[in-house]
Amino acid sequence: MPADKTTSMAEAISRIDPGSTVAAGLALEHAIPFAAGHELARQGIGDLTLVGPISDVLFDQLVGAGVASRVRAAWAGNVSAGSGYNFRRAVEGGDLSVENHSNFSVALALQAAALGVPYLPTRSLLGSDIAEEPQFRVTEDPFEGQRIVQVPAIAPDWAFVHVQRAAPTGDAHLWGNTGVTYQAVRAAEHVLVTTEEVVDLDVIKSDPSRTRITREQVDAVVEAPFGAHPSPVAGRYNRDNEYFLAYADATRDADGFDAWADEWVYGVNGREEYREKVERDLSVQEPTTAAEVTYGK
């Protein structure tokens, strides 16, 4: 029998050491692992380096919670409202170190680690001040002599991924856009899969083309229905747009964020209680069912 990797969110998160590098928000605005992020804040696992393309407001919340000391990302804010106020305050106050990337350079950095190479070259970033940031090298391509940018590998200690369904083994199905999810899973030393639903391995094996995360890459599986709220999950629930606007209004100053976090993070005993707090109906109203896919022999 393959190992059963299911565990509770609290136990899974307790495995993460302070000072770790955590990649999250890997499908961009889709399927962001907010439930796992909030548990990081509740356990106060500090001095984290956060890696991801944009994360929507997850990184802003972790910065506000005081558990992040460094962000390596292309963008940090609130996609609906613009600024992430905790991020702004922390950077402007000198409390947060930022490594500026583009989305593609985050993808390439993770892909480099996934391939086990020290860097990957790109012609993106050329001419920008991002290319001049200290982590990059602008050099000549040894074959044709063109200017290229070397993007060094980023190998996170942990990648957090939220999926629609996973087997207890860690083999997982996810659908909808995936951003840099697969690159991060392969780049990371450890992977936490949070899932809307734990299913039998037979379900996963019935559609292997949808399986892009397999057990040997996964450390822990946590059943976390509604675990990506307020971000959307294809086929499960819509994005909670009102939440993002209300969050922006509530967190314009640090006291406002603290009050918000007391209510939505520290004052919530688990995700079921959290779910009851969300009054809006985000359910999928017009489901699209894929045409049947047949395998066999």
Partner 1 sequence: MASEADGTGGAGGYTAREMMVSAAAREIEDGDTAFVGMRLPLIAFQVAVSTHAPNAMSVFESGVVRDDPADGFLHTMCDLPNLDRAVSTTGMLDVMGRLARGDIDVGFLGGAEIDRYGNLNTTRVHAGDREIRLPGSGGACDIACMSDRTVILMAHEPRRFVERVEYVTSPGHGEGGDWREEQSVPGGGPSALVTSKATFGFDDGELYLRTVHPGEDADAVAADFPWDLRTREDVTGDPVGETAEPTDEALSLVREFDPDGFWTDD
Binding site for partner 1 (CB under 8 A): 27-30, 53-54, 56, 73-77, 79-80, 82-84, 87-88, 91-92, 98, 100-105, 107, 111, 122-130, 146-148, 175-183, 231-232, 234, 238-239, 241, 244, 284, 286, 288
Nearest to 110 by CA among 23, 40, 7: 23
Our CB check for partner 1 shows the closer of 46 and 235 to be 235
Would the CA dihedral through 244, 9, 180, 20 be positive or negative?
A: positive
Cα–chain-centroid distance for residue 57?
11
- Smallest gap from Cβ 120 to partner 1, in A, equals 10
From the number of C-beta atoms within 10 Å of its C-beta (0-12, 13-18, 19+), residue 46 rates as middle
What minimum distance in Å lies between the beta carbon of 139 and partner 1? 11
Q: How far is the CB of 263 from partner 1 (least distance, A)?
A: 23
Task: Please identify, using beta-carbon distances, which residue of 103 and 206 lies nearer to partner 1.
Answer: 103
Q: Whole-number minimum distance, CB 92 to partner 1, in Å?
A: 6
Contacts of 87 (CB under 8 A, 6+ apart): 59, 60, 63, 71, 76, 77, 96
Smallest distance from partner 1 to CB 11, Å: 30
Min. distance of Cβ 29 from partner 1 in angstroms? 4
Contact (Cβ atoms closer than 8 angstroms) between residue 53 and residue 75: yes
Task: Decide whether 79 or 278 has the Cβ nearer to partner 1.
Answer: 79
CB of 269 to partner 1, least distance (A): 29
Q: Which is nearer to partner 1, 61 or 102 (CB)?
A: 102
Measured from the CB atom, is 16 or 26 closer to partner 1? Answer: 26
Residue 221: which residues within 8 A CB-CB, separation 6 or more?
Answer: 5, 6, 7, 166, 167, 168, 169, 170, 172, 193, 194, 195, 198
242-251's contacts with Cβ under 8 Å and 24+ in sequence apart are 242/280, 243/278, 244/56, 244/57, 244/78, 244/79, 244/80, 244/81, 245/80, 245/81, 247/57, 247/78, 247/81, 248/78, 248/80, 248/81, 248/82, 248/83, 248/85, 251/60, 251/64, 251/85, 251/86
Q: Which is nearer to partner 1, 127 or 267 (CB)?
A: 127
Residue placing its CB nearer to partner 1 in the complex, 29 or 196: 29
